[in-house]
Amino acid sequence: MPTRRTLLAHASAALILASSGTAFAQQPPVKVGELNSYGSMAAFAVPYRNGLNLALDEINAKGGVLGGRKLEFIIRDNGATPGDAVGVAEELVTREGVSMLVGTFLSNIGLAVSDFANQKKTLFLASEPLTDAITMGAGNPYTYRVRPGTFMQTRMLVDAVKAKGVKKWAIIAPNYEYGQSAAASFKRLIKEATPDAEIVVEQYPAIGKFAADAGATIAALDAAKPDGIFNVLFGADLAPFVREGNTRGLFKDRTVVSLLTGEPEYMLPLKDETPENWIITGYPWEQIADPAHKAFVDAYRAKFNDTPRLGSMLGYLVVYMVRDLINKAGAPETDKLIAALGDMKFETIAGPVTMRGLDRQSSLGGWVGLSTQKNGQGAMKDWKFIDGATVMFTEADVKAAQKK
């Protein structure tokens, strides 16, 4: 017959075991800091956040990471200036105790956060900034980039246009890091594709300010009488460029090659002003037949009652990459994360992706096709998906940049 003392001892032991079980079940979440231009670049960043949250819900519903820990993204607006972004990154690392940083949109902000990550020895997975500097001359061991950079996307476009043999080119690009990087890539790549090509005029309006001087800028481009135009404008600058260019006949009988224009973020506002047959990079989400991608589209539309943007797909993809990275590393510690990430292979809704250790650039590809209108809306036609691994910088290019 058990004594009262024995029963109490058993009860105490049971409480201890229950308490231990609860503590195991309530392990602290793995925190990731995400900073982006949610206020100033909402057309891209808000759908990006939606895709991110959709992926988080799916991952945590299936047990999270590391055998049962919740994956938590602490999301902040970065203020759209390098100084503000560095302050936000500092807060995420020191106050919030995040294991890594993710995000940024504008290239100058991406570079600032990259430098901060290098100084603080914190992993930074740059989702969106496109400047080539982030993986080349200004690259560092703590910064990896997901999206194909300006060189990769520009090469996709040059490969698509080189058979046309256009020789006299105009360039129009926003006057900040991304625009300058894209213009430099185009100058190099078009000469390699068409040795007798020349740049006859270049215009670099301030980002977000094209409409204020649209007439003079269009007149300058037209006066140089180019046969082709390489356009890098996006966001709030794209619609007035298209409208003013159409009004003044800038695009008539000219080949137009345009970065980012086919992304729904920027094409949807064009509506029935969408030009025909520009050669563009973009995201024809409604035409992609891959089952994994279709499942993402269905889930996104069900959750947000909206169609996905390129940002939506990227945010979703990035979170799954973070999940796979943390699980492979075995712990959310910087040295283990970096050791796992070099040349790591991922299965994504955009196909297989490798994070190339040489320059810390992913092989995520992109869609290239022609612009068109469908039911009064902009769309892509005659598109194909380009594997990012086929348009990356050569090993010699990377090593030369790393020596500078």
Tens of each residue's pLDDT in the chain, 404 residues: 444 444 444 444 444 334 433 433 579 999 999 999 999 889 899 999 999 999 999 999 999 999 999 999 999 999 989 999 999 999 999 999 999 999 999 999 999 999 999 999 999 999 999 999 999 988 899 999 999 999 999 999 999 999 999 999 999 999 999 999 999 999 999 999 999 999 999 999 999 899 988 999 999 999 999 999 999 999 999 999 999 999 999 999 999 999 999 999 999 999 999 999 999 999 999 999 999 999 999 999 999 999 999 999 999 999 999 999 999 999 999 999 999 999 999 999 999 999 999 999 999 999 999 999 998 899 999 999 999 999 999 999 999 988 76
Burial class (CB within 10 angstroms; exposed 0-12, middle 13-18, buried 19+) of 315: buried
Q: Are residues 162 and 226 in the same domain?
A: yes
Residue 21 covered by a domain: no
CB 394 within 8 A of CB 183: no
Structurally, how many domains does the chain consist of? 2
What is the pTM assigned to this prediction? 0.90
pLDDT of residue 25: 57
Q: How far is CA 267 from CA 242, 261, 311, 397, in A?
A: 11, 6, 13, 33
Q: How far is CA 380 from CA 109, 244, 267, in A?
A: 30, 22, 9
- Exposure of 282 in the CB half-sphere (CA atoms within 13 A): 29
Residue 277 covered by a domain: yes
Residue 23 covered by a domain: no
Q: Are residues 254 and 379 in the same domain?
A: yes
CATH code for position 62? 3.40.50.2300
Burial class (CB within 10 angstroms; exposed 0-12, middle 13-18, buried 19+) of 211: middle
Q: Are residues 119 and 59 in the same domain?
A: yes
Alpha helices in 209-333 (DSSP H): 214-223, 238-247, 264-267, 291-304, 310-329
Which one, of 314, 347, 327, lies nearest residue 64 by Cα? 327
Residue 1 covered by a domain: no
Q: How many Å apart are CA 31 and CA 189, to the nearest integer?
A: 41
Contacts 24+ apart (CB under 8 A), 352-355: 353/321, 353/388, 354/389, 355/144
DSSP 3-state of 166: coil
Q: Are residues 295 and 332 in the same domain?
A: yes
pLDDT of residue 403: 75
Q: Are residues 243 and 384 in the same domain?
A: yes
Q: Are residues 44 and 98 in the same domain?
A: yes
Q: Are residues 195 and 54 in the same domain?
A: no
Residue 8 covered by a domain: no
pLDDT of residue 10: 45
**Which structural domain, as residue segments, surrounds residue 90?**
30-149+288-365+394-403
Q: Are residues 233 and 372 in the same domain?
A: yes
Q: Are residues 213 and 299 in the same domain?
A: no
pLDDT of residue 138: 85
pLDDT of residue 24: 33
Q: Could you tell me which residues are beta bridge partners of residue 124?
A: 101, 143
Residue 80 covered by a domain: yes
Residue 243 covered by a domain: yes
DSSP code, position 127: S
Q: Are residues 108 and 135 in the same domain?
A: yes
Q: Are residues 251 and 384 in the same domain?
A: yes
Tell me how far apart the terminal alpha carbons of the chain are, to the nearest angstrom. Answer: 83
Residue 17 covered by a domain: no
Q: Are residues 242 and 350 in the same domain?
A: no
Name residue 98's amino acid: V
